[in-house]
Amino acid sequence: MPLARWPAERACPRATFSLDQAATEGRPVVVAAELRLEAGARDLGLKLITLEVQTSKDFETALEVAAKARAQGVYAIATNTIVSQRRRVAEIALSHRLPSISELTLLANAGFLIGYGADLEALGRRAATYVDKILKGARPGDLPIERPTDLELVVNLKTARALGMTVPEALMLRVNRVIE
């Protein structure tokens, strides 16, 4: 089974797969986040199924709804609930044969198929420079707000094999880290 065109397509436009319907789980904190997801799905030609997940008790039901709706993959918004239960979410998604991705690479470490987002170690190093400046007398309000500049693409080949998927070579050439 081939993989799909996901948000990772933004970083790897030639490493896309065939997908026409995806589900997203999580609870966007702001309506604007949900609107951006819908617009992104539309741009990619995907039908987006929004799954309401408010507590960890909702995972099984939400992913069952996605599977019954014939979603071909799940994009998990990295809420505290999902991050704290990431292994369980990955296991449930896998049990429903749903490839899963997220913007946090640590979810790929837990069994998600793909993680694509800010390099958390680089963010930590950058935060240390802010702490240093503040300790040297800089006012926090005077420091500029920065966006992440280092993005990381992680592919979990163990999950891909369990799903019977082959990761395209074009995508593998862009991967920062592979989980065997």
Q: Does domain 7-118+152-179 have CATH number 3.40.50.2300?
A: yes
**3-state SS assignment for residue 27:** coil
Inter-CA distances, 37 with 17, 19, 41, 78, Å = 19, 16, 6, 13
Residue 112 DSSP SS3: coil
Residue-level pLDDT at 26? 52
pLDDT band at residue 2 using 50, 70 and 90 as cut-offs: very low
Each residue of 86-133: pLDDT tens digit? 999 999 999 999 999 888 899 999 999 999 988 888 888 888 999 999
Tens of pLDDT, residue by residue over 79-92, are 888 889 999 999 99
Q: Which amino acid is at 51?
A: L
Q: What's the pLDDT at 29?
A: 44
CA atoms within 13 Å, Cβ hemisphere of 10: 11
Q: Of residues 71 and 7, which shows the higher confidence score?
A: 71
Please report, for the chain, the start and end positions of each structural domain, with discontinuous segments joined by +.
7-118+152-179
Q: What is the DSSP letter of 166?
A: B
pTM of the predicted model as reported, rounded to 2 decimal places:
0.74
